[in-house]
Amino acid sequence: MEDVEKFDIDVLGEALYDSPLGLSKRKGDDIFNFVTDKDRVLRYISLNDHNNCVKGEQEPVALEKAGPREKIYFNTKKTKAAIVTCGGLCPGINNVIRSLVMGLHYFYEVKEILGVRYGYEGLIPSYGHGFVDLTPEYVKDIHQFGGTILGSSRGGQDVGEMVDTLYNNGIDMLFAIGGDGTLKGANAIGDEIAKRGLNISVIGIPKTIDNDVSIIDKTFGFETAYHVANPIIRDAHNEATGAYNGIAIVKLMGRDSGFIAASAAISMPVVNFVLVPEMHFELEGENGFLETLKKRLDAKQHAVIVVAEGAGQNLFNKEGKEKVTDASGNVQHDDIGLLLKNEIAEFFKKKDYEVTIKYIDPSYIIRSAPANPGDSVFCSGLAYHALHGAMAGKTKFVVGRVNNQYVYLPISAVTSSRKKINMEGGFWFAALESTGQPFEMR
């Protein structure tokens, strides 16, 4: 179990202002109650974990519950906020921006909200991107569209210069919407702010379509991703069944974690093989993938394969090659989709076995889609809880759901590792039950 202290949230100072929300402090009056810092959510909820704590006379690991506080740190009518979006596109970014603006304006009467253009580059004056004034009128319809109205970029910028920009523009709180690299950048900005003794809150809202942020239940955009992939897989199945020994390969996002591919396969149960980064499989051999695929074609005369982009990297000859990374520091993987297509074609050609192969990569269509209703609800919840925490003077934290409860977590806690599919867990077993593929192909 993690150290309890690891989940303490930094604060700028004592919260002395009364919240303008007018919520309740007692039960039974049919009005939502303020949340206190003593309200906690258990990290581990199994009876076994509880009994271990009792035996060891230990406090269970608990996380700070998210929500509006009775006392806030900022004088809301003099507060200026900024919002930045970084990294790759993901369904729901505009929903989060809209909810932040609406909540800041209508809940807390914040009149100045700046949109930072093109990621962290927008906090470096030499790029010349400038800011955009975000008002309810400006953002009222943006939830209908995918992408981000603020633009995005990858790569780190000078932390000191970014803090200079925040200070020089009188910004009191920065909401950073992004993935692992963005959150680490936000934490570094928060550290520099603390070093200078400034009263600027830094809040992270986790955005990664791969759903690979540690500890939290899920990230926004993930649900939409496999929702959009669902009919694409259905159509791929139609292509596969439309030809004798038809094979359809659909490559989905998932650099290091296969949650999208596995969820899509379970949600559209026509998939016969799902290949994810967490599994090790081989192409050759009696129990390898290619022979297993042939057995499937012998029996059913068609096959649908869903593969995550980071799967099967062991199949590439990387000896002597330098690791290539993108501007965010993410390792650039070799294209497993094209490798599978070519290897399958060559394998069956040598056997004089007629196959028809269709290869589909809908990644950028999925990334640019607007959020579905489930993600839209989730985005609003994340945004509102983020701004409640910011107003209370909390900093260097992310908002997320743990055990289906909104909580605040230190940024450092969720960026220390990547969440991956537990290959011995029930989720992966459900994927195997859906596809019918062997436990191992090697």
- What residues act catalytically? 210
Q: What is the C-alpha to C-alpha distance for residues 386 and 401, in angstroms, rounded to an integer?
A: 12
Q: Cα-Cα-Cα-Cα dihedral of 13, 17, 18, 19, to 10°? A: -70
List Cα–Cα distances, 396 to 69, 123, 362, 431, in angstroms. 17, 18, 35, 36
The answer to whether 371 and 247 have CB atoms below 8 angstroms apart is: no
Query: Does 155 carry a binding-site annotation?
Result: yes
Q: Give 178's strand partners.
A: 206
DSSP string, 277-297: TTS---SSSTTSHHHHHHHHH
Query: Does 401 carry a binding-site annotation?
Result: no
Query: Does 312 carry a binding-site annotation?
Result: no
Query: Does 148 carry a binding-site annotation?
Result: no
Q: What residues have CB less than 8 Å from 40, skipping those under 6 apart? A: 62, 63, 64, 65
Q: What is the C-alpha to C-alpha distance for residues 259 and 180, in angstroms, rounded to an integer?
A: 16
Query: Does 154 carry a binding-site annotation?
Result: yes
Query: Does 249 carry a binding-site annotation?
Result: no
DSSP string, 218-271: --TTHHHHHHHHHHHHHHHHHHHHTSTTEEEEEEE--SS--HHHHHHHHHSTT-
Q: What is the C-alpha to C-alpha distance for residues 124 and 119, in angstroms, rounded to an integer?
A: 10
Q: Which of 331, 353, 335 is nearest to 344 (CA)?
A: 353
Scanning 36-109, the segments in alpha helix (DSSP H) are: 47-55, 93-102
CB count within 10 Å of CB 65 equals: 18
Query: Does 135 carry a binding-site annotation?
Result: no
Query: Does 309 carry a binding-site annotation?
Result: yes
CB count within 10 Å of CB 234 equals: 12
Q: What is the C-alpha to C-alpha distance for residues 116 and 60, in angstroms, rounded to an integer?
A: 40
Query: Does 76 carry a binding-site annotation?
Result: no
Give φ, ψ of 397 to 5 degrees.
-130, 160
The answer to whether 222 and 210 have CB atoms below 8 angstroms apart is: yes
Query: Does 117 carry a binding-site annotation?
Result: no
List Cα–Cα distances, 43 to 65, 98, 164, 212, 405, in angstroms. 11, 30, 37, 18, 10
Query: Does 180 carry a binding-site annotation?
Result: yes
Amino acid at 200: I
Query: Does 255 carry a binding-site annotation?
Result: yes
Query: Does 365 carry a binding-site annotation?
Result: yes
- For the purposes of burial, counting CB atoms within 10 Å of the CB of 343, is it exposed (0-12), middle (13-18) or buried (19 or more)? middle
Query: Does 367 carry a binding-site annotation?
Result: yes
- For the purposes of burial, counting CB atoms within 10 Å of the CB of 164, is it exposed (0-12), middle (13-18) or buried (19 or more)? middle
- Would you list which residues are annotated within the binding site for ATP? 88, 154-155, 179-182
- Would you list which residues are annotated within the binding site? 88, 154-155, 179-182, 208-210, 253-255, 309, 364-367
- Would you list which residues are annotated within the binding site for Mg(2+)? 180
- Would you list which residues are annotated within the binding site for substrate? 208-210, 253-255, 309, 364-367
